[in-house]
Structure 1
Amino acid sequence: MSGPLNGIKVIDCSRLLPGGFCTMLMGDLGADVIKVEEPGRGDYVREFLPFKGDQSYMHLVLNRNKRSMTLNLKSPEGVEILRRLVRDADVLVEGFRPGVMDKLGVGYNVLKEVNPRLVYCAITGYGQTGPYANRPGHDINYMGIAGALELSGPKDGPPTIPGLTVADIGGGAQMAIIGILAALIARQSTGKGQFVDISMTDGVAYWLSLFAGWYFGTGVSPKRGEHMLLGQFPCYAIYPAKDGYITVGCLEPHFWANLCSAIGRGQYIPEQLNIDDADRICDDLASVFKTKTRAEWDVFFADKNACVGPVHLVEEAMDDPQLRHRTMFTTVAHPTEGAIQQLGIPIKFSETLGQVRVPPPNLGADTDGVLQEIGYSAAEIAAFRELGTL
């Protein structure tokens, strides 16, 4: 069964996480993704630990459902090949600083003349414009500037580094794929592609959502330990269990009442939002939750209709019955490394299913095939190799 993006051709000129994650999801949903990589080195993510055999697992979890070709974009021949490659492409994704692709001769203004229907998506830290546009940065920088990093951590301590790269994936990759799909839909009526400018910092700022609403309504910045969703009340908190931690997310009064009744603390039902007694109630609940393991609490609350769950290690999450049922962890056969573990596809369709069709490619494995598809002969390809173009 074909995926919902079957027939969409994507040229991925990006490196590292944001662009790679974006194009992987497009590949999962059926797009033909051609990953354009630097000859000899490839995407830098191929160098990151840990390794399975000769393959970086960081590469293996980001680049399935793609084809890999090598191309030296600093050579005139490489530039011409990319221009020919986009003639029948639908999407190009890149993650260089603003202006880099223009200097190479393959920026949007050039490529839209080659293919007016091309959707060109640039994912950068701060966007194509503004005083920070050419600054270097990483996830932690973008989150700090956008006001999101200040929200994570203990009330009386410093901000903490989030466990997930929120800016790279939430602010970058996911915003990019939304923008790309919206541009493809717009193309159906206009007949034209367009430039999609994705700033990871903008994306994180958009994620502020409820916390921005708090500031808009009160004029006061929400702070760690001083907001319902930031650990202010015992109904929404993380508690120690005998063997780790559990989560309590009983924001609604009926869930809070069910929790308190289940653990013999009915007296706290009317005190859900009593800020003066919140610390004492948290301490008492912590003493209760320490009496059982996470698994024991999971069984205990299974029929209590309260929002309580375990804090898993990654390896424990992979054995969780819900995630296993939803096929969120799978394997695919790699040509040199055998069966490799993969994340499943999070978007479930009733008709046009996503699939893990092919394993992550070895560097340049599909170069000849891609070049032949766009009209180059075996002799021309051999000449390109001699020149260092491939």
Structure 2
Amino acid sequence: MSQFLLRGVTVIELAGLAPGPLCGQMLADYGARVIRIDRTSVSVNPDQLTRGKQSVALDLRNPKGQEALRTMLESDKVDVLIDTYRPGVLERLNILPQQRLNGKEPLVVARLTGYGQTGELSNFAGHDINYLAASGVLGIVGPPNKPQAVPANILGDFAALSLPGFAAIVTALFSGLKNKNTKANNSPYTLVDVNIVDSLKYLAQFATYSKFGPYDPKNPQGSDEPIISIVPWNQPRGLNVLEGHSCPYYTVYATKDANENVTVGALEPQFYQQFLEMVVGKDEAAKLPSRDSPANWPILKDIFAKKFKEHGIEYWKKQALKYPDSCVMPISPLAHSSEIPNQIVQFDTQKKDIPGGQLLTPGKDTNAVLEEFLGGSWKSKYGSEFSKQAKLEKI
């Protein structure tokens, strides 16, 4: 199977913060042509998620700039628009296409926001931490009886926006191809609303159903029946097994070495037994109190914490290799740039040495792209005051 399944797809990405750029790069990583629209007022864009992209600098406050972009979107050469702007901006700028040439399928317009296109929060400014808070997910992160712990901005911005955005675009493209001969959609574009808050709620449904039980529209308040769950989630924050704070067999332990820690995730009985054998030995394991009673958790956690403190991280790395079913894994540092996979799902398991994380000069490809989309006489028709071609120095 080809690893460039999106070859032939052209994407216009409106320059924005990290979630939109990663979504665009994911499409490029699978072969799509991605053209980032930068502002003419900037000479440097700090966006590093640029692999495989081109850049066109347009002044979208200028009517000619708006017309130029709209013409590009109306052509039969563009398939997707990644909208990173706040709700209503595209409509205000009159950028959305009014037609599609040569029977082209509707343009897929993926609108990526934090709070969504509608509702009382839709026009609120925000960042990852705010979206986590609004979704309720932040409410189950952190130790008991203390303020919530804030994870790095990977969960909201990227896992709950870039990735769903990528999935929504590919799904919409597939749907368009599947239904290309139908007349059901007469609009020149298809809007896809992807937002962090809803995505997080969807991603957290395992915890939600474990805590509140299943949802039945006929009984929205829930039933009095006992909740059947793989792992119960019925205690206050920080006291549930999978929250990683109170449970002694699903948590983080410090080693003898400063700032070198290990994780333990020995949920299943057979894995817990190997974990005990690794940490305290078979004989001592038989003397420990049962893990099934939360009342014993502080005792067990104290025993395990002392054991992990007896040795440094290299010892525990060797032990983890010796006991592969113990579910013990030392915490690695953030992966180096050279370790990032070429694609999020790789069809070719051999990693290729492809550059990444490099800055893309705003307007690097302006003249070439506009000539391609608007014709060779675009400057005489539109003027050139709405665009900027970067001056590239030869290295």
TM-score range, shorter chain: 0.7 to 0.9
Q: Distance in 2 between matches of 1:357 and 1:31?
A: 17
Q: Which residue in 2 is equivalent to 1:339? A: none
Quote how far apart the aligned CAs of 1:84 are. Answer: 2.0
Q: Deviations over 1:100-150 (max 9, x none)?
A: 11000013xx45556652111001111111121111111111100111112
Q: Which residue in 2 is equivalent to 1:369? A: 368
Residues 381 and 69 of structure 1: CA distance in aligned 2, closer, same or farther (over 3 Å): farther
Matched, 1:284 2:303: yes
Query: Please, which of 320, 333, 338 is the counterpart of residue 329 of structure 1?
Result: 338
Q: Deviations over 1:11-42 (max 9, x none)?
A: 00140111111001111111100000111226
8 Å CA contact 2:80–2:109 kept in 1: the answer is yes
Q: Which residue in 1 is equivalent to 2:277? A: 261
Q: How does 1:1-390 map to 2 (within 5 A)?
A: 3-41=4-42, 46=45, 56=46, 59-60=47-48, 62-86=49-73, 87=75, 88-107=77-96, 110-111=97-98, 116-191=105-180, 194-217=190-213, 223-230=236-243, 231-243=245-257, 244-263=260-279, 264=281, 265-267=284-286, 271-304=290-323, 305-314=325-334, 317-318=335-336, 329=338, 344-350=342-348, 356=354, 360-377=359-376, 380=379, 384-385=383-384, 387-390=385-388
Residues 113 and 344 of structure 1: CA distance in aligned 2, closer, same or farther (over 3 Å): closer
Structure 1, 276-285 or 74-83: larger mean CA deviation: 74-83
Over alpha carbons, which structure has the higher Rg? 2
Q: Which residue in 1 is equivalent to 2:220? A: none
8 Å CA contact 1:42–1:70 kept in 2: the answer is no
Structure 1, 162-171 or 373-382: larger mean CA deviation: 373-382
**Letter of the 2:136 counterpart:** G
Q: Deviations over 1:178-209 (max 9, x none)?
A: 11111011101222652110111111111112
Residues 201 and 24 of structure 1: CA distance in aligned 2, closer, same or farther (over 3 Å): same
Which sections of structure 2, spanning at least 5 residues, go unmatched? 214-225, 228-232, 389-395
SS at structure 1 position matched to 2:152? coil
Residues 368 and 221 of structure 1: CA distance in aligned 2, closer, same or farther (over 3 Å): farther
Residues 384 and 160 of structure 1: CA distance in aligned 2, closer, same or farther (over 3 Å): farther
RMSD: 2.7
Residues 269 and 376 of structure 1: CA distance in aligned 2, closer, same or farther (over 3 Å): farther
8 Å CA contact 1:345–1:355 kept in 2: the answer is no
TM-score scaled by structure 1?
Answer: 0.82
**Letter of the 2:320 counterpart:** F
Q: Deviations over 1:343-363 (max 9, x none)?
A: 643321049999847854211
Residues 367 and 307 of structure 1: CA distance in aligned 2, closer, same or farther (over 3 Å): same
**Letter of the 1:208 counterpart:** A
